[in-house]
Amino acid sequence: MKNIHILLIGVLLTSAAACKKFVDTPVPKNELVSGLVFSDDKSATASVTGIYSNMNAFNYQYANILMSYLNGMLAGDVYYFSAFASYDVFKFNELLPSSQYVETMWGNQYGFIYQANSCIEGLTGAQGLTPAVRSQLLGEAYFVRAFMHFYLVNMYGDVPLITSTNYKVNNVKARENTAVVYDTIISDLKKAESLMGADYPTGKRIRPNKAAASALLARAYLYTGKWPEAEAAANAVLTNGRYSLLQDLNSVFLADSREALWQLQPVNVAGGRNTWEGFATVPATATGTAIFRLDSVNLIHKFDTTTDLRFKKWVDNRKAAATGNIAYYFPYKYKVRTSTSSTITENSMVMRLAEQFLIRAEARIQQDKLTEGRSDLDSIRLRAGLTALPTSLDKPALLLATEKERQLELFAEWGHRWFDLKRTGRAPAVLKPIKGDKWQDTDVLYPIPAAARSTNINLTQNLGYN
C-alpha cells in the first residue's frame, strides 16, 4: 500500500484509496492515485475508479449519509432520533468552524479534487493507453472535479478553486468568487461531455458517462439562472432512450435501475450490507428504532398520504412507546439494511432521471413556457399517483409547485431541499418559522473550517461565523 500525504487548503489529508472491483483489474487493493499508475489501460482505469471506491468505502462520509441526511437536517426535513452534539448543530443550524462534519465534508471533497487533478495530469501525459479508454477516463476525472466543486460552492459559498496538484500553490489559495467557480464547473462538464462515451464503461451505472455530465451541466445551468441552457441540457438526457422514469417506485433505487444516471457501488458489504443509506435508515428489526427520521410537519404532512405513492413506497413508520405509540417516519427509498444474499441489489443513487424532469420544468416555467413546464411536473406527479396540475396555475404558482415536487420527490437525497431553498432565496421565509430564534440569514452557508484557516492565512470566514 502506498501513502500520499496531501497538504491541501491547510488540511492534512491522508488518502487511502480502496480500489474495489469496479473493473476487472489486478491492481492491488488500496492502490493510490499517482503518476506511476497510468502506464496501461488497467492501471489507469483503477486509478480513476479508485475515486468512486473512496467516496463510498466508509459510512458517515461525504458521499453517503452526510450529504443526504445532515443537509436534510439543515432544511428541516430530517432529524436524528436522539440528542447528539455533532448532529444537533445541523438540526438547529448552529454550525461552528470547528464542527466535526463541517471539516469532514470540506476535507473529503478537496481530497477527491486532488485525486481528480492527479488523474487529469497523469492521463494527459500518459503513453500506451488505448485512445478511447484515455478519453473516457479523462472525462470522468473532469466530471469528478466539477462535481466536487459544485457541492463545495453550494455548501461554503466562495471557495478555493483547485485545478492542479501543486500543494504549494493550493495551500495558500484564497477563496474564489462563486461565479468564477461555476464557470470552471461548466467548462469541466463540457469537457467531460465531449470526452466520455454514451455507454457505461462496465455496462453498470457505477461510473459516470456522457449523460451524467449533461445532467450535472443542466443542474449547474439551473443554479446559475441560465434557463435556455438548463432546458437544453436536461432535454438531451430526457430524450436519451437509455433512461426511463420507472413506474414501479420500488425499482427506482435498485442497482442499474433504468432511472439511474450515476450510482455508487457498495464497497464494504460485510454482514450483508448493500448501501450505507439503507444500513443507517432501515431499522434492524420489525420493532427496532430508526435513527434518521423524517419531520412530520415540515415534510410528511406535505404529502397527500392517501394517494401519493412516494409516501406509500418511499416512507415507512414505527411507533415509539416513549411518546404514547405515536408513529414516526423514516426514509425507505433503500429497502436493504442487510441481506443473506451475496448479490448486491441496491446501489447508492447519486443522480437520477426524475431530477431532469424537474430541472426542465423549472427552466421552462422561468422562460414563460408554462404549458411545457407544467407537463414536465405532471410527468412526476402522475408517476406518483397524483392528478395533473390545474391549467389555470400562473408562473409564481407553478414555481411553488416545482419547489414542492422537488421536495417530495428528492427528499433525503444529496441535500436537494437545502440547496433549493438557498438558490431560490426562499430559505429565510421557509426556515425561520421552523428554526425560530436560532435562525440567522447567514445560516445559508457553512462556515469555513477552522483547521483550514489555521494553516492558510488567505482563507476568509463567512459572515456570521467570526
Let me know if residue 341 belongs to a domain: no
The answer on pLDDT for 334 being more than 50 is yes
pLDDT, tens digit, 9 for 90 and up, residues 107-121: 999 999 999 999 999
Residue 411 domain flag:
yes
Structure confidence by residue, pLDDT tens digits, 260-313 = 999 999 998 999 999 999 999 999 988 889 999 999 999 999 999 999 999 999
Helices (H), 224-275: 227-238
Give the mean model confidence (pLDDT) for residues 353-367: 98
- 122, 141 contact by CB (below 8 A): no
What is the average pLDDT score of the chain? 91
Is the CB of residue 162 less than 8 Å from the CB of residue 114? yes
Please check whether residue 168 lies inside any domain of the structure.
yes
Residue reference for cell 488523474: 119
Question: Is 281 part of any domain?
Answer: no
Rounded percentage of the chain residues whose pLDDT exceeds 90: 85
Q: What is the pLDDT of residue 28?
A: 30
| Chain-centroid distance, C-alpha 415 | 7
Q: Would 383 be classed as within a structural domain?
A: yes
**Count of positions (residues) in the chain:** 466
User: Helix axis angle, 416-423 relative to 427-435, nearest 10°?
Assistant: 120
- Looking at residue 74, its pLDDT comes to 97
The predicted model gives 207-230 an average pLDDT of 98
* C-alpha–C-alpha distance, residues 399 and 227, integer Å: 13
Q: Which residue would you say has higher pLDDT here, 412 or 24?
A: 412
**Confidence label for 323 from pLDDT (cuts 50, 70 and 90):** low
Q: Is residue 14 part of a domain?
A: yes
Q: Is residue 225 part of a domain?
A: yes
- Using CB atoms within 10 Å of the CB of residue 100, give its burial: 0 to 12 exposed, 13 to 18 middle, 19+ buried: middle
Q: What mean pLDDT do residues 440-461 have? A: 97
23 pLDDT band, cuts 50/70/90, is very low
Q: Can you list the positions of beta strands (E) in 265-419?
A: 292-294, 315-320, 326-331, 348-352
Q: Can you tell me the mean pLDDT for 237-259? A: 98
Distance CA 463, CA 421 (A): 18
Residue with cell 431541499: 417
Least confident of 50-64, 209-223, 384-398: 50-64
Domain span at residue 30? 4-265+348-425
What is the DSSP secondary structure assignment for residue 322, as one 8-state letter?
G
Count of structural domains within the chain: 1
- Identify whether 173 is part of a domain: yes
pTM, entire model: 0.92
**CATH number where 219 lies:** 1.25.40.390
How many Å apart are CA 431 and CA 375, to the nearest integer? 29
